[in-house]
Amino acid sequence: MSQVITASQPVYSKDNPFPARVTEDRLLNGLGSAKDTRHFVVDTAGSGLSHTCGDSLGVFPINRPEEVDEILTALHLSGDEAVELRNESAPLTLRYALFRKRSLASPTRKFLLALRDRAQESIETDRLDELLDPANAAMLKQYLAERHFVDLLEEFPSARFQAQDFVEHLRRLVPRLYSIASSPTLYPNEVHLTVAIVRYRTNSCDRVGVCTTYLSDRIELNAPIVPVFVASSRFGLPADDSADLIMVGPGTGIAPFRAFLQERIASCASGRSWLFFGDQHGKTDYLYGDEFERHLQNGQLDRIDLAWSRDQDFKVYVQDLMREKAAELWNWLEKGAFFFVCGDSKRMAPDVDRALHQIVAEQGGLDEADAKAFVKSMRKERRYQRDIY
Ligand code: NAP
């Protein structure tokens, strides 16, 4: 990240985020899709913030006011109580701390122990003893994963906390990082984000992702209120614009590659580009499909392979298409192409990595050890880069 600043301008950073406006919130999925993926435009004009392709935007979310109210009710506190938080120079009200400074999700075993110390009713202490029994560690893990702090306060109402006591159990509300989906050359005063809005049910309760629903549900468009900063990354375009790019980005993993393509088009880069994208259904989930089809027609994108996982009875994923195109892919790699992966870290990225190793071994006529060494050298030369979450 680099910043162009004047003497009087504040330097915006993670410690001093810029209050940005979100000027556009557009649904990228078509009617009938199971997904809710949004295109947000964040206006950064006047901030001095700048980014390079591959960087992320950090966004500080704010908790749901309803959840803050539920906690205060369960605590029998007004919210006006003063609390002191680490790294804050002055006391804050409990309500403000819960709203902006502390995570209300992911309660800990330590909090259960605190509930056990305070609970007055035997029905509650018995249940807490059961959960805290070391023999029930797996059950406890699942129990905690499915609950927020408010659920525990409501489940064990005889345990009482003072404001300070309670906030000390909460972790910091940390910013979320989103890969930037726009080129700084094309959009110097804006940052585009591709965000999958997170909503799910656990323990018979509707849950939401705190930052994704902050952006989709709780901000006022055009109000300068969203605290943001640029997080720089080593993930990024090669300096040599004649290098070929292979980009694998299913779902929201498409974000940085939209920026890469915009940047390469703006700079008239001579290298070829090959995109692997996938999502559930071709009809509704081809994110930025109109743009990519236009780039293809204009010869600004050389190849695109699309994996629609739920358009047939069996799954088709990006790595299946890589395997189908193995000979061509190997040909690009042998000629020095850069290989980029962005998106899900738990399943997609390891599967794509396995497919890459397999293609290198089979097409390159290499044994397992040599294929591994080949991919390792790609990593070392920064020709294999991943931005996974
Ligand atoms: P996604 O859930 O990763 O799905 C995209 C496509 O990948 C679907 O077609 C899916 O198929 C397929 N897929 C599933 N398993 C795969 C595998 N092993 N290999 C290859 N492809 C596979 O899409 P997403 O909308 O980007 O959501 C990603 C997750 O990242 C979400 O849970 C989100 O909360 C999280 N996240 C998002 C952001 C952001 O929005 N910028 C940031 C951080 C984290 P099937 O579903 O049909 O199996």
pLDDT tens digits, 53-69: 999 999 999 999 999 99
**How far, in Å, is the centroid of ligand 1 from the Cα of 305?**
17
- 252: CA distance to ligand 1 center in Å? 7
Ligand 1: which of 309, 323, 347 to mutate, judged by most atoms within 8 Å of the beta carbon? Answer: 309
Q: What's the whole-number mean pLDDT along residues 263-291? A: 98
pLDDT in tens, 30-45: 999 999 999 999 999 9
Average pLDDT of span 121-139: 98
Helix (H, G, I), strand (E, B) or coil at 170: coil
What Cα–Cα distance (Å) separates residue 357 from each residue in 278, 323, 326, 339?
20, 11, 11, 12
Q: What pTM value is reported for the model? A: 0.93
Q: Quick one: pLDDT at residue 272?
A: 98
| Strand 56-59 relative to strand 176-179, pairing | antiparallel
Predicted pLDDT of residue 359: 98
Q: What is the CA radius of gyration of the chain?
A: 24
The string of DSSP letters for 250-280 reads: -GGGGHHHHHHHHHHHHTT--S-EEEEEEES
Q: Is 118 in the pocket of ligand 1 (CB under 6 A)?
A: no
What are the tens digits of pLDDT across the range 66-104?
A: 999 999 999 999 999 999 999 899 999 999 999 999 999
- Asked if the model's pLDDT at residue 2 lies above 90, the reply is no
pLDDT at residue 139, as a whole number: 97
Cα–Cα distance measured from residue 105 to residue 79, given in angstroms and rounded to the nearest whole number: 18
Query: How far away, in angstroms, is 158 Cα from ligand 1 center?
Result: 41
Instruction: Measure the CA–CA gap between 325 and 285, rounded to whole angstroms.
Output: 23
Residue to mutate (ligand 1; options 252, 284, 288, 358; most atoms within 8 A of CB):
252
User: In a 3-state reduction of DSSP, which class is residue 145?
Assistant: helix
Check whether 143 has a pLDDT greater than 90.
yes
Across residues 313-341, what is the average pLDDT?
Answer: 98
pLDDT at 182 over 70: yes
Residue 194 CA: nearest ligand 1 atom is 41
Q: Say what the pLDDT of residue 377 is.
A: 98
pLDDT-derived band at 10, boundaries 50, 70, 90: confident
Q: Which atom of ligand 1 is nearest to the CA of 37?
A: 25
Ligand 1 midpoint to CA 250 (Å):
7
The confidence score (pLDDT) of residue 4 equals 53
Count of residues for the chain?
389
198 Cβ below 6 A of ligand 1:
yes
User: In the prediction, which pLDDT does 287 show?
Assistant: 98
pLDDT at 1 over 80: no
Confidence of residue 8 (pLDDT cuts 50, 70, 90): low
Q: How many CB atoms lie within 10 A of CB 267?
A: 12
- CA nearest to 84, candidates 17, 166, 174: 166
CB 105 within 8 A of CB 202: no
284 touches ligand 1 (CB under 6 Å): no
In sign, the C-alpha dihedral spanning 279, 38, 146, 172 is: positive
Confidence of residue 7 (pLDDT cuts 50, 70, 90): low
The confidence score (pLDDT) of residue 87 equals 87
Q: Is the CB of 358 under 6 A from ligand 1?
A: no
Other CB atoms closer than 10 Å to residue 52's CB: what's the count?
19
Short-list 98, 127, 128, CA closest to 113:
128
Ligand 1 atom at minimum distance from 350 CA? 18
Nearest to 12 by CA among 172, 191, 171, 179: 191
Ligand 1, atom 39, residue with closest C-alpha? 195
**Could you count the other beta carbons within 10 Å of the beta carbon of residue 110?**
10
Q: Which two tokens stand for residue 78?
A: 């007004």
Q: Is the dihedral of CA 261, 267, 268, 269 positive or negative?
A: negative
Q: In the chain, what percentage of residues exceed pLDDT 90? A: 96
Cβ-contact 260, 186 below 8 angstroms: no
Mean pLDDT of the chain: 96
- CA separation for the pair 342, 345 (Å, rounded): 8
Residue 135: pLDDT band (50, 70, 90) is: very high
Q: How far is the CA of 363 from the centre of ligand 1 (A)?
A: 28
Residue 312, pLDDT > 80, answer yes
- 178 ligand 1 Cβ < 6 A: yes
Measured from the CB, is residue 187 less than 6 Å from ligand 1?
no
pLDDT at 6: 54
